[in-house]
Amino acid sequence: MNPKQLLKTAKNKKILARNDLLDLEAKYCSWGDTVHYAEKLNIFKSSQGSYLYDREGIEYLDLQMWYSAVNFGYRNQRLNEALKKQIDTLPQLACQYLHEEKIQLAAKLAQKNQRTFEEKGRVHFNVGGSSALEDSLKLVRNHTGRNLVFAFMGGYHGRTLAASAITSSFRYRERFGHFGDRAMFIPYPYCFRCPYDKKRDFCDLYCLKQFERLFETEYYSVVNKKNNKCEFAAFYVEAVQGTGGYIVPPQEYYSGLKDILDRYGILLVDDEIQMGFFRTGKFWAIEHFNITPDIIVFGKALTNGLNPISGVWAKEKLISPDVFPPGSTHATFSSNPLGTAAGLEVMKLIEESDFSVSIPKKGRYFIAQLKKLQKKYPQIADVDGIGLALRIEICEEDGYTPNKGLTDKVVNLGLSGSLNVRGKPQGLILDVGGYYKNVFTIAPSFYITEKEIDLGVELLEEALNRALKKS
């Protein structure tokens, strides 16, 4: 068999192997996750830094990094080594027993918050963001004795039953109904698509004033004006809205909101699962708005995606042993040693970094390049962001009507691995969010270079051009 035939045979075997795997997936894997959103199903083989590689060796620049879980890049050597070291020392331990890494990680998080917010608090660990969100609901109900909460339209807090009840999209509850109390959903300050058709320069935070009106009279159903007692226990926020489209609210919005909540004894719970650990250029996104939350929920990037550990930080009055005693809640794999070891190394890495400088700088550069692209394509209606949490809203040529079709075409072209801007086939990993599923939510590695940002913009333009030709 000549070399050409050998190459052809080897190539066919690889294709057949891939197809065999996809056949098995089609028969035996649940389709209830999000894999089958894509037109082409990729099977990835390896990763490094800002890139994923498929079985054919095609390189994909990842601009969403596992929904902002892998902030510190794929195969981060330092974090991987911390995990390997823990595997060789204490890889498993039941959550009812203590280990050093858990104590140190909790202390670092609590001490950081005490310095930032001048508020003593404690940390409780769990597994996955949704589970931590559930723990926060337990803390809220335990403290207030009330079970109703406010949440934002466009907010996303998880897929467990209680978390989906405070997530505004009915789609996540459609097949399962309600097992908890549904939140009252309040319009988010989404200035590009103001729900009240106001313009930011002249609105005087009209959306906030509308929320405040709920408390004017008992007949608006949330407060007893005779004793000023509210039946709502908490307001769940994403300081920068994530799945809703990486929306950055007006600077003064949250201080006004907090004033209203404090007036009626309503807790503010800050969901930092996607935006925490410097995604926005500060440790927590809420720090941009100069307020102190009562509870912070976190996960994802705490371990750089190496372990699904999550947790809550709460003020001392909400979580002290006197009010939240042993056995109040736990999960078998919460505070597991592999997760806490990775998390502790992430905290050390952050402490040694200049992320407060480098991330805003890279974000400004990325936005500047996207703005240049926006001038060439009227379909790019809005470019905005904070730190390395960026948004690109895709619309019709009128610059406002959502264009989900074009958005989907661009995503699928990126996943095809067939883009070519520098002489070789490449792919582009994008995530889609927004109320109309027409927003690219950009969350690259913190170590992305300007050269890689330029490549990302070039790949995006190539995908846009090809998608528009198909339209």
pLDDT of residue 7: 45
What DSSP state is assigned to residue 428? Answer: E
Q: pLDDT digits over 357-375, tens only?
A: 999 999 999 999 999 999 9
Q: Report the distance separating Cα 292 and Cα 118, nearest Å.
A: 9
The domain defined by 90-351 folds into Aspartate Aminotransferase; domain 2 (3.40.640)
The DSSP secondary structure of 431-448, one letter per residue, reads -EESTTS-EEEE---TT-
2 pLDDT more than 70: no
pLDDT of residue 144: 97
Q: For residue 281, which of 243, 239, 314 has the smallest C-alpha distance?
A: 239
Beta strand spans in 183-324 (E): 184-186, 223-224, 229-230, 232-237, 267-271, 295-298, 309-315
235 pLDDT more than 70: yes
Domain extent listing, the chain = 14-75+355-470, 90-351
C-beta neighbour count of 118 within 10 angstroms? 8
Q: Report the distance separating Cα 323 and Cα 306, nearest Å.
A: 33
pLDDT of residue 18: 86
Residue in the structure block whose two tokens are 């083989």: 45
Q: pLDDT digits over 319-367, tens only?
A: 999 999 999 998 999 999 999 999 999 999 999 999 999 999 999 999 9
Q: pLDDT digits over 26-53, tens only?
A: 999 999 999 999 998 999 999 999 999 9
- Confidence at 6, pLDDT banded by 50, 70, 90: very low
Q: pLDDT digits over 373-425, tens only?
A: 999 999 999 999 999 999 999 999 999 999 999 999 999 999 999 999 888 99
The domain defined by 14-75+355-470 folds into Aspartate Aminotransferase, domain 1 (3.90.1150)
Q: Report the distance separating Cα 230 and Cα 351, nearest Å.
A: 41
271 pLDDT more than 50: yes
9 pLDDT more than 60: no
Distance of CA 249 to the CA centre of its chain: 16
pLDDT of residue 177: 77
Cβ burial of 320 (10 Å; 0-12, 13-18, 19+) is middle
Q: pLDDT digits over 169-206, tens only?
A: 988 888 887 777 899 999 999 999 999 999 999 999 99
| % residues pLDDT > 70 (the chain) | 96
Mean pLDDT of the chain: 95
Q: pLDDT digits over 418-464, tens only?
A: 999 888 999 999 999 999 999 999 999 999 999 999 999 999 999 99
Q: Report the distance separating Cα 152 and Cα 337, nearest Å.
A: 35
**What pTM was computed for the model?**
0.95
- Confidence at 151, pLDDT banded by 50, 70, 90: very high
Q: Report the distance separating Cα 191 and Cα 144, nearest Å.
A: 33
Cβ burial of 423 (10 Å; 0-12, 13-18, 19+) is exposed
Q: Report the distance separating Cα 302 and Cα 307, nearest Å.
A: 9
Beta-bridged to residue 385, according to DSSP, are 390
pLDDT of residue 220: 86
Q: For residue 13, which of 56, 58, 60 has the smallest C-alpha distance?
A: 56
